[in-house]
Amino acid sequence: MTPFPHFADAGQSVSAAREQMTAHGVRHLPVKDGGELTGIVSERDLAVAVSSSIDLPLRALCDKDLYVVDLHTRLDQVVLEMAKRRVGSALVVRDGRLAGILTATDVCRLYGELLTQLAPPVDEPA
């Protein structure tokens, strides 16, 4: 999980959100409207919008079907639900406030580390 993720305002333009993603090296931005989580936008969403040459506000583009989990939800439950819903991220909240974002990339990294611990690579002779 990435703690304290960057987020975008619902009125922010697609181009501004894209610049923000590039500056911070992220591929997902939670979207807030008046301090409340209202959506999420991905790098792919922004690329599609940019190809249409219309600089929309994020509220017109973001995915409003959020997968939000409490910070204390078990990781196995979260990743299985992400797969079931076919979503690339889960917004993590603590006491109703955004605390982090868990992405499919985070899950792959964790899974790779676990596999390495369970079956360390064997050095093969040259």
For β-strands 2-3 and 8-9, DSSP reports them as unpaired
Mean pLDDT across the chain, nearest whole number? 90
β-sheet bridge partners, residue 70: 93
Contact between 41 and 62 under an 8 Å Cβ cutoff? The reply is yes
Distance from C-alpha of 57 to C-alpha of 107, rounded to nearest angstrom: 30
Residue from 29, 33, 100 nearest 71 by CA: 100
34-55: pLDDT as tens digits: 889 999 999 988 888 877 777 7
Distance from C-alpha of 111 to C-alpha of 107, rounded to nearest angstrom: 6
pLDDT value at residue 122? 78
100-114: pLDDT as tens digits: 999 999 999 999 999
Rounded to two decimals, the pTM is 0.81
Contact between 73 and 57 under an 8 Å Cβ cutoff? The reply is no
* Portion of the chain with pLDDT greater than 90, in percent: 67
Q: Positive or negative, the Cα torsion across 3, 18, 46, 107?
A: negative
Residue 93: CA count within 13 A, CB half-sphere: 10
pLDDT value at residue 70? 97
Superfamily per CATH, domain 2-118: CBS-domain (3.10.580.10)
How far, rounded to the nearest angstrom, does the alpha carbon of residue 75 sit from its chain's CA centroid?
A: 15
User: Taking residues 58-63, what's their average pLDDT?
Assistant: 89
Of the pLDDT bands very low, low, confident and very high (cuts 50, 70, 90), residue 4 is confident
Tokens of 25: 């090296």
